Amino acid sequence: MKPLSPSSSRRIATLDFVRGVAVLGILLLNITAFGLPKAAYLNPAYAGYPALHDALTWAVMDLLAQAKFLTVFALLFGAGLQLLLPRGTRWVHARLFWLMLIGLLHGIFLWDGDILLDYGLIGLLCFTLIRQADSSRMLMRMGVVMYAVGVGMLVVLSQILSPEPGRYWLPGDADMAYEAYWLQLGGVEAWRNRVDLLVESLLSLGVQYGWMLAGSLLLGAGLMRSGWLRGEFSTAHYRKVALWFIAGGLLIDAVGIVLQWHLAWEYRWSGLLLQIPRDIAAPIQGIGYLALCYGYWSTLRQWRVSSWIGDIGRMALSSYLLQTLICTRFFYHWGGFMQFDRLQLLGIVPFIWLINGVVAHYWLRNFEQGPLEWGWRRLTRLIAGPSR
């Protein structure tokens, strides 16, 4: 593994920082997926009408974090594909192949909430479009259209799927007991269930979610090609975008939150149709969050914590999988599963953030890349050879 070298200074510091923010922000929602049954991720009433503090926690997280940091991460992933263009198609295809394999292993043997396989698959499709696009405007137009198709598919699905809630929205006691059983048992029983969930996830990717993910990747590539994600626009521009986009996203998402609460999270409406305001808000708010970081980077870069967050972003893959290792150990092997409500789970998040920060900071004091990033690059070279 290479020790630290002067080449690390050529990285775009702001990109590392916002990537680190995305990795940390994703945990705000993933902690619920680790600590509670799968149905709890979108439905606070999965086990009956929730307590007020639980519903409020859901509402705040939905408003500020749900889908937003995943979208930020997707935008940055698309931006990364744009930056990788000079390395050549063979290199990028090999890199995405290994990412898919890492995601497959992660999703089957560690945790069913994996996103890496999805990003690798959709990244392969989008890379061709990114390579052939004539301009940043074309990329962003394609991104908006694809994202809109994904949102529109929610309307279609709401008309053709059963109006009855399944076990992933309103599970029975037996469903939750079995989920707790196989998660804590591990082994073949857990692998079998994760394979079933993976198949369902891939079906959803092909029918609906993949369109939105592709749209986000293309938007991110367009923002990078235009210079926006390189920080080439004025500070005033980024601050204005942050103000209007974050405010607009909050207002749109608030409509869905209020309606879901009013309807007591009834599946007929909340399961699909009332997910739409959040999905519309996510890229708007996500771009607003990015603009906020760029607009105030002159101040943020002076804070010591920003360099630690940037280190997390530099080894985002290692940091993401470290979160899985910590959470699966705590919730599935040490008895933490279904022992905390949403607010209590949020109280655990800063401790995991601290571990992420300490590991990344001290690792990168001695090495140029995170351990998994180093291995990923080496494996890519095995197939593609040296990059251009």
Confidence (pLDDT) at 162 = 84
Residue 7 in this model has a pLDDT that exceeds 60: no
Asked whether 322 and 356 are in contact (CB, 8 A), the reply is yes
| Amino acid identity for residue 248 in this structure | G
Rg (C-alpha) for the chain, rounded Å, is: 20
| Among 253, 258, 263, residue whose Cα is nearest residue 62 | 253
Alpha helices in 65-135 (DSSP H): 68-83, 89-109, 116-132
Write the CB contacts of 297 (distance below 8 Å, at least 6 apart in sequence).
14, 17, 231
Q: Which tens digit of pLDDT belongs to each residue from 34-60?
A: 999 999 999 999 999 999 999 999 999
Over residues 226-240, the mean pLDDT reads 96
Q: Cα(288)–Cα(55) distance, rounded to whole angstroms?
A: 26
The pTM assigned to this predicted structure is 0.95
Total residues found in the chain within this entry: 388
Q: What is the pLDDT of residue 386?
A: 74
Residue with tokens 């707790």: 180
User: Does residue 338 or residue 162 have the better pLDDT?
Assistant: 338
Average pLDDT over residues 328-353: 97
**What is the model's pLDDT at position 232?**
95
298 three-class SS = helix
**Residue 57: CB partners within 8 Å, gap ≥ 6?**
341, 342, 343, 346
- Identify the pLDDT of residue 98: 97
Q: Give the pair of three-digit tokens for residue 383.
A: 């197939």
Is there a contact between 190 and 182 (Cβ–Cβ < 8 Å)? Answer: yes
pLDDT score for 55: 97
Average model confidence (pLDDT) for the chain?
Answer: 94
| Cβ–Cβ < 8 Å for 376, 325 | no
- Scanning 303-385, the segments in alpha helix (DSSP H) are 304-314, 316-328, 342-364, 371-384
Q: What is the pLDDT of residues 345-387, one digit of tens each?
A: 999 999 999 999 999 999 999 999 999 999 999 999 999 877 6
